[in-house]
Amino acid sequence: MAEPEPRRIPEATVVRLPLYYRILVELAEEGTPTVASERLAQRAGVNAAKVRKDLSYLGSFGTRGVGYDVDYLLFEMSGQLGLTEDRPVVIVGAGNLGQALSKYGGFGARGFPVAALVDTDPAKIGRIVNGLEVRPPSELSRLCSDLDVAIGIVATPAGAAQRVVDALCEAGVCSILNFAPAIVTAPDGVTLRKVDLAVELQILSFYQQRQDPDPALETSG
């Protein structure tokens, strides 16, 4: 008899799960044994009904009048988020951004150790950056295989981003995080996410200019 397919979790819920996980880690460190959906919602900046709906996709963990067992929910969520084992990361691009990312200790602490740093610049290849020797792109496939790389981070200029994504896919990397300011594509079966800092700043600027007083109104007064 075939096993039932895993319940599909909406994208919006997937985005919020790491936030819940971080809050639960903080609660566990504070020695909090249980947490109500209302308190979890307050710390996450969402409403309690949304928290309960999101967590219901993982299973039935809450108890009415008591809330959620923090340690047990952490254990279950770790499994759902794939955090029960380390997932090594390769960063392609050893410029300012790539070096900063390789230095960030939060990746390793959360189960995503930076295993390799790759760049095309001959002046950078062979240098030690944050404990990692910068390797050339020709070694990318071997590095991904030898180091069991699970995630690739693209930290290159825009013009090189698609080539890097293609190379990561050819190396068998199925999860890619793109920091380059470029629209890139990946084949089916590869999860590709984008972080565009400039776009985020432009969004903040949009809201900022709506909050700023209108100079025309100030001068007309």
Summarised one tens digit per residue, pLDDT across range 38-67 is: 999 999 999 999 999 999 988 877 777 778
Q: Which CATH class is domain 11-80?
A: mainly alpha
Query: Domain residue spans in the chain?
Result: 11-80, 89-200
Please list, in sequence order, all residues whose beta carbon lies within 8 angstroms of the beta carbon of residue 20, skipping any fewer than 6 positions away: 40, 44, 51, 54, 55, 77
Cα Rg of the chain (Å, integer): 21
> Tell me: the pLDDT tens digits for 88-136?
999 999 999 999 999 998 899 889 999 999 999 999 999 999 999 999 9
Highest mean pLDDT among 74-78, 113-117, 203-207, 215-219: 113-117
Sign of CA dihedral 162, 164, 168, 170: positive
Q: What pTM was estimated for this model as a whole? A: 0.81
Cα angle vertex 193, ends 190, 195, to 5°?
Answer: 155
Alpha helical stretches, state H, the chain: 11-29, 37-44, 48-56, 70-80, 96-103, 105-109, 140-146, 158-170, 197-211, 215-220
pLDDT higher than 70, residue 216:
no
158-167 long-range contacts (CB < 8 A, ≥24 apart) are 158/182, 160/93, 160/120, 164/92, 164/93, 165/192, 167/92, 167/137, 167/140, 167/141
**Chain-centre distance for alpha carbon 86:** 14
CATH code of the domain made up of 89-200: 3.40.50.720
